Amino acid sequence: MQSGYLLDGNDMASTYGVYIQKSKGAFDFIKRKGVTEHSWDDEDGVQAFTDADDIYRDARNIKMEGFIKADTKTDFLTKLNAFKAIIISPGLHTLKFPQSDTIYSVYCKDGLIFTMQTGWSNTILIGKFILMLRETSPL
């Protein structure tokens, strides 16, 4: 099974039974914010600010879609509650993707949208989720 998605240094698959199917936003180029150019009255064209001290980046939104899988109702609820507890806990959390060495400092922006995919009496329980995270100070 898939692994390598680390939340606060813990593998999401082995620690919480959480498997990420797709993500969006983590590798996007981030929009610059603030004044990025100036048009002088006595010159043609626009002068771009490209000095490193003048470059600031907007926050980054990361959307993750995945599922939680367990063999028993007790195991499923334990994994779900442990995952929810870490996600909603205060402060920033570290997030690392298996495709990159970059570590993102994120917090849960809009909660967790959760949908149960199987019945509670099944031998394997699966619930899908959408999680919106925000990185306020991207590198």
pLDDT tens-digit series, residues 20-39: 999 998 887 777 766 667 77
In a domain, 38, yes or no: no
**Average pLDDT over all residues of the chain:** 86
In a domain, 103, yes or no: yes
pLDDT at 47: 72
Q: What is the pLDDT of residues 98-132, one digit of tens each?
A: 988 999 999 998 888 999 998 888 889 999 999 99
In a domain, 112, yes or no: yes
In a domain, 39, yes or no: no
pTM, 2 dp: 0.78
Residue scoring higher pLDDT (139 or 66): 66
Number of domain units in the chain:
1
Please determine, for residue 93, whether its predicted confidence score (pLDDT) is greater than 90: yes
In a domain, 74, yes or no: yes
pLDDT at 111: 81
**Helix/strand/coil for 14:** helix
Residue 127 gets which letter from DSSP? E
**What residues make up the domain containing 103?**
1-26+60-139
In a domain, 71, yes or no: yes
In a domain, 4, yes or no: yes
Nearest-5° angle of CA 104, CA 106, CA 112? 130
In a domain, 104, yes or no: yes
CATH number at residue 95: 2.40.30.200
d(CA 2, CA 12): 9
